[in-house]
Structure 1
Amino acid sequence: MRARRADPDRRDRLIDVTIDLIAEVGVAGISHRRIAARADVPLGSMTYHFEGMDQLLHEAFTRFAERIAASFEVRLRAADDVDQALEAVADLVHELSDPASSRDQMVSYELYTLAARDPRYRRITTSWMRRSRQELERHFDPRVTRQIDALIEGLALHRALDDEPFDRDLTLEAVRKVAAARPAR
C-alpha cells in the first residue's frame, strides 16, 4: 500500500493554478484535468476539494479580486492628501495596464465577462468596486469617487488594448480634470 502524501496547501494551490490558467487560456479553456495536471495532483483532488468547476472558479475569482482590492487599498491609504491620491490613481492605471501585468488584465476581463451574465460573479465585482470606492472616498466626495473609479477601469482598458498607449501625463491630466469638475445641479 502506497503511503499517503501530506499536502496541506493543495486546495490553495489548486485555486492559484486556476487563476494562472484563466490568465493563459480563459475560462473556456480550463478543465479539471488541466488544473490537476498543472498543480501536479491526482485528478480526484478536484472533486475532493471542490463541488465542481463553478465553485473553483468562484473561489479563484474571489481570491483574485481580494488581492487586487488590497493592492488598491495600500496605494490609496499611503496618500496623505488629494494630490498624492491623484498620483496614486495615475500609478494604478499604469500598473493595471502595464504589459508586465497582462496576467491580471486577462483574469479581470474573464471575471467581467462572467459578471455581466451571472449575479454570483457580479457580487464579486460589486464587492471589489465597493472597496475601491471606500478608499477613494478617503480623498474625494462620493460622486467624484464613482467617476474616478470608472475612469480607472476605462483608462486601464484603453492603455492595455491600444497599439499606441498614452503616457502617464495624459492619465494624470484626465484624473485631475475629473477630480476638479463641479457636479451638475
Structure 2
Amino acid sequence: MATGRTDPQRRDRIIDAALDLIADEGVAGISHRKVAARAGVPLGSMTYHFQSMEELLREAFGRFAATIVALFEERLGAAGDPDEARAAVVDLVHDLSSGDQRQLVLTHELYTLAARQPAYRELTRAWMRRSRDILEQHFPPDTARQLDALIEGLSLHRALDTEPHDRALTAEAVARITRAG
C-alpha cells in the first residue's frame, strides 16, 4: 500500500468509506477500524488525516450535503423561467426519493445527529441555506423556504411509502406553494 505522500486520494477514500459505513450500519456502527478496513488504508491513516471521529463525521456529512446541493444546482441552474423551475423542483423530489436507500439513510443519520449536537445542526442549517439560495434564484425567499421543506418532506414520504404518489401530485403541491396553477 502506498504511503500518504504518494496516495493523494487516501483522505477522500476514508471519507467515502465512512459514508458507505454510515449508510450500511448507521453512525452508531462506525469505528476507526471499520472505516480503515473499508477504505483499504492502514489504521494509522485515520488519525493522520482526522484528529477525531467527530472531524471525520463532519467532513463526511459535509461532503454528502454538498452532493445534494450540487443536485439542486444542476436541476435549478438549467431552469430559465418559473415554469421550468417548478418542473425542476418536481424532478428533485422524484430524484431524491427514487433508487437506493443510501441517500435517505445518510440524510436521516445527519438529521439525527443535528437534533442532538449543535455542530451538526450548523451543518444542516448551512445545507438548508445553500438549498434555499438556489431556490431563491427563481422564487421569493418565503416561497423558497416552503419549497425546501416540501422537497424534504415529499422526498421522505415518497421514499418510505409503500405506494408513493406520482409526479402529478408533486407538481400540484409545487404549484400551490408557488401560486402557479
Q: Taking structure 2 as the reference length, what is the TM-score of the superposition?
A: 0.94
Q: Greater Rg, structure 1 or structure 2?
A: 1
Deviation at 1:105, TM superposition (A): 1.1
Aligned counterparts, 1:1-185, within 5 A = 6-98=6-98, 100-180=99-179
Deviation at 1:101, TM superposition (A): 3.9
In structure 2, relative to structure 1, the CA distance for the partners of 1:3 and 1:47 (3 Å cut) is closer
Deviations 1:52-94 (A, max 9, x none): 1111001000111111111211211110011101100000001
8 Å contact from structure 1 (residues 95, 101) kept in 2: no
Distance 2:148 2:2 in 1: 52
Distance 1:56 1:3 in 2: 21
Distance 1:45 1:4 in 2: 9
Gaps in structure 2 of 5+ consecutive residues: none
Moved over 2 A (4+): 2-6
- Cα RMSD (Å): 1.6
In structure 2, relative to structure 1, the CA distance for the partners of 1:10 and 1:178 (3 Å cut) is same
Aligned with 1:79: secondary structure? coil
Deviations 1:119-173 (A, max 9, x none): 1111111111111111111111111111111111010011111111111111111
Aligned with 2:125: secondary structure? helix
Number of positions where the alignment pairs a residue of Structure 1 with one of Structure 2: 179
Q: Taking structure 1 as the reference length, what is the TM-score of the superposition?
A: 0.92
